[in-house]
Amino acid sequence: MIIVMEENAPDSAIERVIRRVEAAGLRTHLSKGIERTIIGCIGDERIISQIPFAAMPFVEKVLPVLSPFKIASRAFHPDDSVVEVGGVRIGGGALTLMAGPCAVEDAESLLASAKGVREAGAQILRGGAFKPRTSPYDFQGLGEEGLKLLSETGKALGMPTITEVRTLAHVPVAEKYADILQVGARNMQNFDLLREVGRTRKPVMLKRGMANTAHELLMAAEYILAEGNSAVMLCERGIRTFETSTRFTLDVSAIPVVKQSSHLPVIVDPSHAAGKASLVSALARAGVAAGADGVIVEVHASPENALCDGQQALTPAEFAGLAAELKAIHGILREKHGTPGGARAAERSAEARW
Ligand code: PEP
Ligand code: MN
């Protein structure tokens, strides 16, 4: 249930409503928008459905939230949420470029890739240290040593970093060195891991599982949000279909679908979807055109020598060309519509609900 306060509702009236909800044993989630404040009620709604909140001063209306995800829903938070990390804004109309190698391999190659992506305009440096490989005989990542290298390189170049955590034990280690924690596709429904990253105060990027629906992605995000971590972004990285000409099938439609029903930023990963460098740019352009708030692209200074996913890595020069195209697409959308995809989706969604 959400309680929508009147435009001029004073803090004391908002407080009164919150106290009444919490006295009934439910938790509240406050969303202060530009025009009005919305109080989201989290817990067993049957307990409070009998309380006449609509009769309380400055309450405009009381509405049920029909979706099973609550904190992630647009109803709870009509404006796009913005995740801020090291001076970089993700969501709310910005276009954020994240790039770097699949895995941290050694200091020298990481620095070469990182310098290349930074020059091309990437704001966030990616690099895996705990790699989820299909084969146990493949390069598994450098572990903590890799995280140290990632952190040093990020600091040297002034770039916040993102890295994957695969198990509960990785969380405190990655928290120490990285700026954004990534939960990979294979762990999207590892609920214990979701809760654990939810208990940190680091931004989290949750990747969609290759066999999961967009709805399940939002339910998984809810686990992180429910632990009190509101800095969550989602990532569309392709799903398994009958098509074999790409590694996965990028579900472009999931981008506007998710943005219509959620305020969370959506990042598109064209690299793991394509599985082939020659297809990466086309998918990235499609993702940004569909309203993604950013991209995460695998870039390697020397793809032919990469220890992981070299076949899908762009060179820094290729990434520079792509970055310019993405900024141009994003610019056209902003010029035409005022704000890119997300905020427009919010307007439509708000109209549909209220
Ligand atoms: C990755 O980003 O390094 C990765 C392994 O991606 P995914 O979890 O989407 O397969
Ligand atoms: Mn990879």
- The CB of 128 under 6 Å from ligand 1? The reply is yes
Helices marked H in the chain — which ranges?
Answer: 11-23, 45-48, 107-119, 144-157, 170-177, 191-199, 214-226, 254-261, 270-274, 277-289, 316-337, 341-353
298 Cα: distance to centroid of ligand 2 (angstroms): 7
Would you list the domain boundaries of the chain? 2-64, 83-342
Task: Give the model's pLDDT for residue 339.
Answer: 60
| Averaged pLDDT, groups of 10, the chain, 354 residues long | 94 96 94 88 88 96 91 93 97 97 98 98 98 97 98 98 98 98 98 98 98 98 96 98 98 98 98 98 98 98 98 98 98 81 47 34
- The CB of 92 under 6 Å from ligand 1? The reply is no
User: In a mutational test of the pocket of ligand 1, which residue from 124, 125, 164 has the highest number of ligand atoms less than 8 Å from its CB?
Assistant: 164
pTM of the shown model: 0.93
Task: Give the model's pLDDT for residue 46.
Answer: 87
- The CB of 272 under 6 Å from ligand 1? The reply is yes
How many other CB atoms are found less than 10 A from the CB of residue 140? Answer: 17
Task: Give CA 324 to chain center in angstroms.
Answer: 22
CATH of 2-64, one of 3.40.50.720, 3.30.750.24, 3.30.70.1140, 3.90.550.10: 3.30.70.1140
Task: Give the model's pLDDT for residue 336.
Answer: 83
Fold entry, domain 83-342: TIM Barrel (3.20.20)
- The CB of 102 under 6 Å from ligand 1? The reply is yes
CA distance 103 to 73: 33
Task: Give the model's pLDDT for residue 350.
Answer: 41
DSSP, residue by residue, 76-127: T--SPP-EEETTEEESTT--EEEEE-SB---HHHHHHHHHHHHHTT--EEE-
Type and span of the H or E element at 169: none
- The CB of 259 under 6 Å from ligand 1? The reply is no
Output b/e per residue, 171-198; b: 16+ Cβ within 10 A.
bebbbebbbbbbbbbebbbbeebbebbb
Token pair 């400055």 is found at 58
- The CB of 166 under 6 Å from ligand 1? The reply is no
Among the atoms of ligand 1, which is closest to the Cα of residue 269? 9
333 Cα: distance to centroid of ligand 1 (angstroms): 28
Among the atoms of ligand 1, which is closest to the Cα of residue 309? 3
User: In a mutational test of the pocket of ligand 1, which residue from 182, 236, 280 has the highest number of ligand atoms less than 8 Å from its CB?
Assistant: 182
Task: Give the model's pLDDT for residue 349.
Answer: 47
Task: Give the model's pLDDT for residue 340.
Answer: 52
How many other CB atoms are found less than 10 A from the CB of residue 132? Answer: 13
